[in-house]
């Protein structure tokens, strides 16, 4: 598995992650449940905050089989810390549990610049000022289903705060992808957390999240 991952990183470096514009599918727009919480009386409480994330379970790089995704762990922590609501983006057709099969599919999707459908859309985006957007790094990029989600919604005038979990790539330029998908949003500085730390050593990751959020003024 390590070999495959190293190969992925090599291919990414050589190819620069080239995308070709084809094969777009239509996103589903059914409304979904947002986990609602009452804002606490903090400085950030006057801003309505949503944490949107995509995260996979099953066999994952460096952490074995997981029942809660690395990004989901970080997303829940941010939401709990800021008393924010959460919304999980799910693919209409779930990604394979097996790591290798998932990397193959993700690679095909990236190469064809696909827009796989998501299972349900967030129904009430208009009421939020700030949206944290979380995702795993896939082949040095956002999972294509997150691109479908970002492009299907109107983030005009909103503040987007990206965060990712990864196996070594860091944010890998994904803030730029988000800016391109949401040109009228104010995209702030993102945070990259190692997937392994998120899953197995959250104390260290938590400090990074705390500092980042504080520096952003939340
Ligand atoms: C399809 C796929 C592609 C991946 N590509 C990369 C990559 O290019 N760079 C990287 O650092 N990690 C890569 N990873 C590792 C994930 O980014 C990392 O394990 C992440 O924490 C998974 O988050 P999740 O559990 O929320 O899905 C990849 C994982 C998968 C499944």
Ligand 1: nearest atom to the Cα of 56: 27
Mean pLDDT estimate for the chain? 87
pLDDT, residue 24, reads: 43
pLDDT band at 66 (very low <50, low <70, confident <90, very high): very high
What is the pLDDT at residue 67?
Answer: 97
Q: If you measure from the C-alpha of residue 164 to the centroid of ligand 1, how many angstroms do you get, rounded to a whole number?
A: 9
- Which residues line the pocket of ligand 1, CB cutoff 6 A? 8, 12, 55-56, 60-61, 69-72, 99, 102-103, 106, 136-140, 165-169, 195
Query: Of 179, 163, 156, which is closest to residue 70 (Cα–Cα)?
Result: 163
User: Residue 46: what pLDDT?
Assistant: 67
CA distance 159 to 121: 19
pLDDT of 7 above 90: no
Categorize the per-residue pLDDT at 127 as very low, low, confident or very high, splitting at 50, 70 and 90. very high
Q: Residue 198: CB partners within 8 Å, gap ≥ 6?
A: 70, 71, 73, 74, 165, 205
| Cα separation, 86 vs 118, whole angstroms | 16
How far, in Å, from the CA of 118 to the mean position of ligand 1? 19
In the predicted model, is pLDDT for residue 190 greater than 80? yes
What confidence category does residue 19 fall into, taking pLDDT thresholds of 50, 70 and 90? very low
Going from the Cα of 56 to the center of ligand 1, the distance in angstroms, rounded, reads 9
Please indicate whether residue 108 or residue 42 has the higher confidence score (pLDDT): 108
d(CA 136, CA 88): 13
pLDDT band per the 50, 70, 90 thresholds, residue 45? low
The DSSP secondary structure of 101-154, one letter per residue, reads HHHHHHHHHHHTT-BPPBS-EES-GGG-SEEEEEEE-BTTB--HHHHHHHHHS-
What is the reported pLDDT for 30? 46
The closest alpha carbon to 85, from 118, 135, 54, 124, belongs to 124
Which numbered atom of ligand 1 lies nearest the CA of 172?
A: 9
Burial annotation 55-71 (CB, 10 A radius, 16+ → b, else e): bbebbbbbbeebeebbb
User: Strand pairing partners for 122?
Assistant: 32
pLDDT at 47: 76
CA gap 217, 6 in Å, rounded: 37
Given pLDDT bands bounded at 50, 70 and 90, which one contains residue 35? confident
The yes-or-no verdict on residue 73 having pLDDT over 50 is yes
pLDDT surpasses 70 at 140: yes
% of the chain at pLDDT higher than 90: 78
Name the CATH architecture for the domain at 2-215.
3-Layer(aba) Sandwich (3.40)
Average pLDDT of the segment spanning 25-37: 56
Is the distance from CB of 53 to CB of 136 less than 8 angstroms?
A: no
> Is the model more confident about 103 or about 1?
103
pLDDT of residue 34: 75
Q: Tokens at residue 52, please?
A: 């949107």
């Amino acid at each position: 598995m390590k070999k495959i991952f190293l190969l992925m990183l090599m291919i990414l470096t050589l190819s620069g992650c080239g995308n070709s514009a084809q094969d777009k599918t239509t996103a589903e727009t059914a409304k979904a449940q947002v986990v609602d919480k009452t804002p606490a009386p903090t400085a950030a409480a006057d801003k309505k905050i949503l944490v949107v994330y995509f995260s996979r379970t099953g066999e994952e790089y460096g952490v074995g089989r997981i029942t809660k995704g690395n990004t989901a762990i970080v997303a829940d922590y941010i939401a709990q810390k800021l008393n924010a609501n959460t919304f999980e983006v799910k693919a209409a057709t779930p990604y394979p549990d097996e790591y290798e099969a998932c990397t193959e599919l993700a690679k095909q999707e990236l190469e064809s610049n696909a827009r796989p459908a998501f299972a349900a859309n967030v129904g009430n985006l208009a009421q939020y000022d700030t949206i944290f957007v979380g995702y795993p790094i896939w082949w040095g990029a956002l999972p294509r289903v997150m691109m479908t989600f970002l492009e299907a919604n109107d983030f005009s005038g909103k503040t987007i705060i990206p965060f990712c979990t990864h196996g070594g790539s860091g944010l890998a330029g994904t803030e730029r992808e988000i800016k391109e998908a949401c040109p009228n949003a104010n995209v702030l500085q993102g945070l990259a957390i190692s997937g392994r730390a998120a899953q197995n050593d959250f104390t260290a990751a938590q400090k990074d999240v705390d500092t980042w959020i504080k520096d952003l003024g939340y």
